[in-house]
Structure 1
Amino acid sequence: MAKKTQQQIYWANSMFGQADREFNAKCAAILRDNGYDVFLPQEAVVNKGEGKSSPTADNIFRVDTTAIVNSNILVACIDQESIDCGVACEIGIAYTHGLPIIGLYTDIRQYRTGQGRMYKNLYVIGAIEASGKIVENLDELIRYLDETKTNQSSTRTHPEQHFGAVAKNYVEFVNRLESWYSPHWTISKFLKAFFTTTPTGKRILEFGCGSGDLSVYLAGHNLTTQYIGYDKSPEMIKIAKLNEKQGVFFTDSWNDVHYQADQQSFDMAFSFFTLHDIERPEIAVKSISECIHPEGRIIICDLSTWDLPQTTSLLQKELAQPIAIKDKRFNTLILSEIASLSGCIIEKVEMITPSINFPSKKDLLDYLEFFGIFGGMDLPLGLSLEKADFFRPKIEQILQKQEYPFNDQRAFIVCQLRKVS
């Protein structure tokens, strides 16, 4: 058997006739032989019984919906003359949760013209095509599944590449952005308040240092004996290195950080607005915790799931985008899980909630562009690099209709972790 792909497919098709059940079982076996996990509703306990069982509507709905939202992709068989109503519902649920959808359409009547051509409900077809594509046979289905898995990462903006592209204008834009907050808030203000109650003279690591602003603040206030800034973007590191001096070092190599930690563990680590851009933030925090000494602290300041609610809701509704897709921003539950996995405990959590007034449409568009939102970063909108050019003019039209200044709410979550010995 082929190696598992770690992707689960939800197989959506009519399953009440013998022919359908046999077709479903055959297709599931082929997909499993190609390394895919398949949830086949007819195999679920609630649906077994060869017509003798009487599951309730609630039983069926709960079991199958749970399987959909825990799958990676939905394959919908749409050969019926009228798309099976259960399949249509499953397509809708999958779309709402941001799952890719593949329609399997093998009926030869799709090739006919005139009265012999089979009609499909265009609303359902639109939901499939907005999330994936329609294929005509099993071989094409498997090829597309394999391509989707291979190309999955290329459809998302890679943060290090994105911020490398905007590195030259990064500081200037952040200064603009911070001027729109009310009450006025900056990372420097946060640090001033933080170090009021924290001893100085520390060895400090910054994960995701960007252009190195933290090092400038620390050096200017004599708050550290040694600072190392790490960022995956070589372009950002080039800018940060302009701030290098004795006791201040920047690198885009995590091996350099480990080498320094092996010489002497860090007392404290900071991460500002970085972890939400990482696919597995718990692994990043665990790596950070390995570089600080027992009882050392990790301070995380990042986007929360409550950030920019007006902008998020406006774009979700106007673009008719999925509303239940994965949100990579943080809340207390996510931070608690990260702390547990990284050998830390949470000492305190607080929220920073300045309002923000985007002065003009251009300013709001600049924000979306600068932070990679058109390519799927930050906001849970289901956007991607692949469809950025399609959605950009639509978003511009939506924002054109708004009144400015456009008011929204920032919601940053600050968490202090302590490494347990």
Structure 2
Amino acid sequence: MTISKHIYFAAPMFANSDLRYNAYLVKKIRQLNHQVTVYLPQENGDINEKSAYADSKMIAQADADEVLKSDLLIAILDGLVIDPGVASEIGIAFAKEIPVIGLYSDTRQQGADNQKKLAALQETAENQFHYLNLFTAGLVKLNGQITNNEEDFLHGIQKFLETGEINDLS
């Protein structure tokens, strides 16, 4: 039995590609269960319509309130670095023990068993892998899980919606 849940979707949202990917994933999440409520910050025109005005306190209060009333925070961890807003939202969720499922799909994580890529770590400026901030990743892992593909990400959300559990998404 699925119980109605409120999900906060934390993701970068300033490039058109970000906005489109966020909308794509949220559509898939909403299709998992029609009782689920997903807060996608880019849909909140009161604070995120970039041709309008919202100051830092308005933005922080609106989004923090949504994180705090959420049953689950989902976070897109891709990018050159974890988006600073996403990292802040993860911090709030961790402090309030709100479970988190992260999606880290960066393709540079592939090849962890490739001996040439591993050997290249010993040479300056030849890291073949992407670095993910370990503090923020640790906050997610202490209170949830990080997946590396959309299928597992959506499966984890579905499992949470059905059971309320996040400890083992397999």
Instruction: Give the TM-score category using the shorter length.
Output: 0.7 to 0.9
- State percent identity of aligned pairs: 30
Q: Identify the residue that residue 106 of structure 2 maps to in structure 1.
A: 107
How far, CA to CA, are the matches of 2:3 and 2:78 in structure 1? Answer: 27
Is residue 138 of structure 1 aligned with residue 167 of structure 2?
no
The amino acid that maps onto 1:53 is: A
Structure 1 residue 8: deviation in Å?
1.3
Q: Which has the larger radius of gyration?
A: 1
Aligned match of 2:45: 45
Residue number in structure 2 paired with 1:119 = 131
Distance 2:149 2:7 in 1: 16
Task: State how 1:216-295 maps to structure 2 within 5 Å.
Answer: none
2: CA distance between counterparts of 1:138 and 1:37? Answer: 19
Secondary structure at the counterpart of residue 90 of structure 2: helix
Which amino acid letter does the alignment assign opposite residue 22 of structure 2? N
RCO greater where, 1 or 2, for CA within 8 Å and sep 6 or more?
A: 2
Instruction: Tell me the SS of whatever aligns to 1:116.
Output: coil
Residue 24 (str. 1) matches residue 22 (str. 2): yes
The aligned residue for residue 217 of structure 1 is none
* C-alpha spacing 1:22/1:4, structure 2 compared with 1 (3 Å): farther
Contact kept in structure 2, 1:10 and 1:39, CA below 8 Å = yes
Structure 1 segments unaligned to the other structure (5+ residues): 156-385, 387-421
* Cα distance in 1 for residues equivalent to 2:6 and 2:156: 15
Q: Secondary structure at 2:164's aligned position in 1? A: helix
Task: Report which stretch shifted further, 135-144 or 115-124.
Answer: 135-144
Unmatched 5+ stretches in structure 2? 112-116, 122-126
* Corresponding letter in the other structure for 1:145: I
1:78, CA displacement in angstroms? 0.5
> CA RMSD for the aligned pairs?
2.0
- Number of residue pairs matched by the alignment: 152
Contact 1:76 1:87 in 2 (8 A): yes
TM-score (norm 1): 0.34
Higher strand share: 1
Decide whether the 8 Å contact of 1:4 with 1:37 is kept in 2: no
Task: Write the letter of the residue equivalent to 1:119.
Answer: Y
| Residue matched to 1:408 | none
Q: TM-score, normalised by structure 2?
A: 0.82
Shift of 1:47: 3.2
Distance in 2, matches of 1:124 and 1:43, equals 25
Q: Separation in 2 of the partners of 1:87 and 1:71?
A: 15
What is the identity, as a one-letter code, of the residue corresponding to 1:20?
D
Residue 64 of structure 2 corresponds to which residue in structure 1? Answer: 65
